[in-house]
Amino acid sequence: MYRQPPITAQSDDPNVAAVLGNNTNGGIGIRAMSNKQIPLVAEGGGGWPVLFLKNNSSGLLISSLNQAGNVAPFSVHSDGSIETKGYIVSRSDIEASGNIAASGDVWARGVKLTSDKKAKKNFSNVDPFEMLEKLSSLPIQSWSYKDDTSSKRHIGPTAQDFQSAFGLNADDEKYISSTDLHGISLAAIQGLNKKMKNLRLKMLNYI
């Protein structure tokens, strides 16, 4: 329970703010400070947002400073994008209806890819032998990322070679879809299995 502050303001008109801070010389309109407690508390109700922000220019909606006062570790842009220089920790689910781009590594206990038949269309069969032949001739090299200053190395094809061999991922030649990589590998395994069975039948015929 908060005690009555030294200064209070009330308004019973929904179109009139209880407090208005306006600095016409480019300074701070309203400033709240506290060295020991929460400097600003906002409470609301009635289904309305507790805090409403509007930027009439292309600047930031929210900006923050660290103790040194010269770094913005967290900011919200006017287009809704969020930028942070630290970790994002979630104790619950994270949902995104768009793409998630990460320039670094992603750690996860598991990754589930959408594979529901109801979410797919335009089905067509693939030739396992063709997938096996293309996969067999796909250049596989060892390499490292240019922006990775560590000594880490990786093994795999380039997106350009993968696109040239299988023609997937539309005109995007920078990325390889893990869905396509898994599917091609499974199809190639089926092709290899059928090839071994055929070879075994031929060998049995010579016995």
Q: What is the rounded CA–CA span in Å between residue 51 and residue 206?
A: 82
Q: Tokens 């070879």 map to which residue?
A: 199
Residue 114's contacts (CB-CB under 8 Å, 6 or more residues apart) are none
Give residue 20's pLDDT. 74
Give residue 189's pLDDT. 98
Q: What is the rounded CA–CA span in Å between residue 73 and residue 64?
A: 6
Residue 98 CA: distances (Å) to CA of 71, 105, 179: 29, 19, 17
5-23: average pLDDT = 75
Give residue 182's pLDDT. 95
Q: Which residue has the higher pLDDT, 43 or 142?
A: 142
Report the largest interatomic distance among the alpha carbons of the chain, rounded to a whole angstrom.
102
For the stretch 16-32, pLDDT in tens is 777 777 777 777 777 77
Give residue 200's pLDDT. 92
In the predicted model, is pLDDT for residue 1 greater than 60? no
Are 188 and 128 contacting, i.e. CB atoms less than 8 angstroms apart?
Answer: yes
43-55: average pLDDT = 80
For the stretch 155-167, pLDDT in tens is 999 999 999 999 9
Percent of the chain residues past pLDDT 90, beyond the cut: 38
Give residue 2's pLDDT. 57
In the predicted model, is pLDDT for residue 96 greater than 80? yes
38-44: average pLDDT = 79
User: Mean pLDDT in the chain?
Assistant: 85
User: Which of 69-83, 105-119, 185-199 reaches the highest mean pLDDT?
Assistant: 185-199
